[in-house]
Amino acid sequence: MKTSMKISSFEEYKQVYQQSVEHPEQFWESIANNFLWRKKWDKVLDWNFKDPSIKWFQGAKLNITENCLDRHLEALGDKPAILWEPNDPQEHHRVLTYQQLYDKVCQFANVLKNNGAKKGDRICIYMPMVPELAIAVLACARIGAVHSVVFGGFSAQSIADRINDAACKLIITADGGFRGNKPIPLKNIIDDALVQCPTIERVIVLTRSRTPVSMIKGRDVWWEDEIQKIETQGNLECPPEVMDAEDMLFILYTSGSTGKPKGVVHTCGGYMVYTGYTFANAFQYEPGEVYFCTADIGWITGHSYIAYGPLSQGATTVMFEGIPSWPTPGRFWDIVEKYEVNILYTAPTAIRSLMSFGDDVLKGKNFSSLRKLGSVGEPINEEAWHWFDEKIGMGKCPIVDTWWQTETGGFMISPIAGITPTKPGYATLPLPGVQPVLVDENGNIVEGNGVSGNLCIRFPWPGMLRTTYGDHERCRTTYFATYENLYFTGDGCLRDEDGYYRITGRVDDVLNVSGHRIGTAEVENAINMHSSVVESAVVGYPHDIKGQGVYAFVVCPNKHGDDELARKDIIMTVSRIIGAIAKPDKIQFVSGLPKTRSGKIMRRILRKIAEGDTSNLGDTSTLLDPAVVDEIKEGAL
Ligand code: 6R9
Where exactly are the structural domains of the chain? 10-65+268-397+420-506, 66-241, 510-635
According to CATH, the topology of domain 66-241 is: Rossmann fold (3.40.50)
Residue nearest to atom 18 of ligand 1 (CA): 377
Give domain 10-65+268-397+420-506's CATH superfamily.
ANL, N-terminal domain (3.40.50.12780)
Residues with C-beta less than 6 Å from any ligand 1 atom: 254, 299-301, 375-379, 401-406, 427, 489-491, 503, 506, 512, 517
Question: Can you count the helices (H) and strands (E) in the chain?
Answer: 20, 31
Predicted TM-score (pTM) of this structure: 0.96
Q: How far apart are the first and last CA of the chain?
A: 59
Spacing, Cα 509 to ligand 1 middle (Å): 14
Residue nearest to atom 4 of ligand 1 (CA): 405
- Among the atoms of ligand 1, which is closest to the Cα of residue 490? 25
Segment 517-545 mean pLDDT: 95
**Going by C-beta distance under 8 Å and a sequence separation of 6 or more, which residues neighbour residue 564?**
none
Question: Average per-residue pLDDT in the chain?
Answer: 96
Quote the pLDDT of residue 615. Answer: 82
Which amino acid appears at position 72 of this protein? H
Quote the pLDDT of residue 619. Answer: 79
Q: How far apart are CA 573 and CA 590, in angstroms?
A: 19
Categorize the per-residue pLDDT at 627 as very low, low, confident or very high, splitting at 50, 70 and 90.
confident
Does 287 sit behind a cis peptide bond, omega within 30 degrees of 0 on the bond before it?
no
pLDDT tens readout for residues 464-480: 999 999 999 999 999 99
According to CATH, the topology of domain 510-635 is: GMP Synthetase; Chain A, domain 3 (3.30.300)
CA quadruple 465, 470, 471, 476: dihedral, nearest 10: 20
CB 208 within 8 A of CB 175: yes
pLDDT tens readout for residues 269-301: 999 999 999 999 999 999 999 999 999 999 999
DSSP helix/strand/coil, 470: coil
Quote the pLDDT of residue 600. Answer: 87
Residue nearest to atom 10 of ligand 1 (CA): 378
Alpha helices in 154-259 (DSSP H): 156-166, 186-194, 223-233
Segment 512-536 mean pLDDT: 94
pLDDT tens readout for residues 4-43: 999 999 999 999 999 999 999 999 999 999 999 999 999 9
Give yes or no on whether 10-65+268-397+420-506 and 66-241 have one common fold: yes
- Torsion sign over Cα 231, 237, 242, 246: positive
Q: How far apart are CA 319 and CA 183, in angstroms?
A: 18
Spacing, Cα 107 to ligand 1 middle (Å): 35
pLDDT tens readout for residues 367-419: 999 999 999 999 999 999 999 999 999 999 999 999 999 999 999 999 999 99
Spacing, Cα 517 to ligand 1 middle (Å): 8
- Among the atoms of ligand 1, which is closest to the Cα of residue 413? 17
Ligand 1 probe mutation, 299, 373, 491, 581, most atoms within 8 A of CB: 491
Ligand 1 probe mutation, 346, 411, 503, most atoms within 8 A of CB: 503
Residue nearest to atom 3 of ligand 1 (CA): 405
Spacing, Cα 553 to ligand 1 middle (Å): 26
Spacing, Cα 489 to ligand 1 middle (Å): 10
Quote the pLDDT of residue 455. Answer: 98
Residue nearest to atom 12 of ligand 1 (CA): 403
**Going by C-beta distance under 8 Å and a sequence separation of 6 or more, which residues neighbour residue 441?**
none
CB 76 within 8 A of CB 282: no
pLDDT at 99 over 80: yes
pLDDT at 510 over 80: yes
ipTM score above 0.90: yes
Spacing, Cα 58 to ligand 1 middle (Å): 29
**Going by C-beta distance under 8 Å and a sequence separation of 6 or more, which residues neighbour residue 296?**
129, 151, 152, 302
Residue nearest to atom 2 of ligand 1 (CA): 405
Q: How far apart are CA 93 and CA 257, in angstroms?
A: 41
